Structure formats: C-alpha cells, structure tokens
Structure 1
Amino acid sequence: MRTTHILLLCILGNALIASVICNSGIGPDDCCFTPYPRRLNKKLISSYYFTDHRCPMAGAILITKNGRHICVDPGLPWVVNIMKSVDQSTF
C-alpha cells in the first residue's frame, strides 16, 4: 500500500516539474501562421521586421502608422515593394 502511494506521489511530482519546465522554455515571440491575404497600401506602413527563423513559416510583420501588426508573406512582390519603400524612406 505504501509503495503505491510513493509511486503515485513520484508520478505527480514528475508531471508538475515537467509542466513548469515546459512553460518556461525560450521560443520565438512572433510567428506567422496565416498571412494577410490582401494587398496593403504602402503609405499606411511605417516599419517592418521579419519573424524568427525558428517559426514554422517565414513571415514579415508590417507595422502600420496606427500601430497594428500585420503578418504577410515576404516573398510576394507587393510586400517586397513595401519593404523597399520603407527602407528608402528611413534614409
């Protein structure tokens, strides 16, 4: 009877420790899972950044002038145009 209690206590302790270790893992903060499907006006975009390389899908986050973050596919021609325009306006 005592060995089953000790075994159950060990299993419970292991489960609690595993959940704490998993929740404190270091991973990417911003990842794109569904990119924005429509074109955006480049006059509305103030800056951009790329998602972390550990994300499952490559993405770019466009930041609008009112502070919204919009995930887009960085390989699309209109996104490349917007990024070039932002880069030129910052110089």
Structure 2
Amino acid sequence: MRTTDILLLCILGYALLSFVNCANGIGPDDCCFTPYPRRMNKSLIKSYCMTDYRCSKSGAILVTKKGRRICVDPNLSWVIGIMKHIDESTF
C-alpha cells in the first residue's frame, strides 16, 4: 500500500472512533424529576442510592424488594429514617 492510503485509513479510523466516543454521553444516568408523593413502609425497601450531583434536583432512589426503583426527596423525615434503617442493617 502507498503511504497516502495508509494515512487515509488512519484518519478514517480516528474519525470513526471519535464518533463512537461522543455517542456514549457522559451525563448522569439516574435523576429524580418528580419525587414519589406518599410515605412508604421501610420493610418494603431493600436498598437505596443517591442521585448524581450533576442532576438538577437532589434525590434518593429507593429500591424495593421486588426491584422497583422509586425516587423520593432525601430531606423528608421518613426517607431519612428508611436510609438510616438500611445503613444500620447492612453492618
């Protein structure tokens, strides 16, 4: 192969790789936009996680024993109680 053909293939390969990297996105995966309005029983909750700091609203995602993910406001007293209960039970 000629040098220009190899150079052209390298440029084309670089362009394809940069397109793939841009398509992945680097934004947060889980954000809470509308928190669940009602109180939940802590015996139904298996675990929780906090939303990413890049989300517009802070939130907690409660995971039920059936695997359902529910967004809630982490500043509510009953949510704090559930998170504390889960933290204490995992030790």
Q: TM-score, normalised by structure 1?
A: 0.74
Displacement after TM superposition at 1:27 (Å): 0.4
CA RMSD of aligned residues (A): 1.7
For residues 6-21 of structure 1, the aligned pairs below 5 Å read none
Looking at structure 1, the residues matched to 21 and 64 of structure 2 have their Cα atoms a distance apart, in angstroms, of: 36
2:25 aligned with 1:25: yes
Aligned equivalent of 1:84: 84
Query: Which deviations, in whole Å up to 9, do the C-alpha atoms of 1:39-89 show, x marking residues without a partner?
Result: 000000010000000000000000001100000000000000000000111
Equivalenced residue count is: 73
Which residue number in structure 2 is paired with residue 42 of structure 1?
42
User: How far is the alpha carbon of 1:22 from its aligned partner?
Assistant: 6.5
Letter in 2 for 1:30: D
* In 1: Cα distance, 2:68 partner to 2:80 partner: 19
Question: Could you list the runs of 5+ residues in structure 1 that have no partner in the other structure?
Answer: 1-19
CA distance in 1, matches of 2:22, 2:69: 28
TM-score by structure 2 length?
Answer: 0.74
1:67 aligns with 67
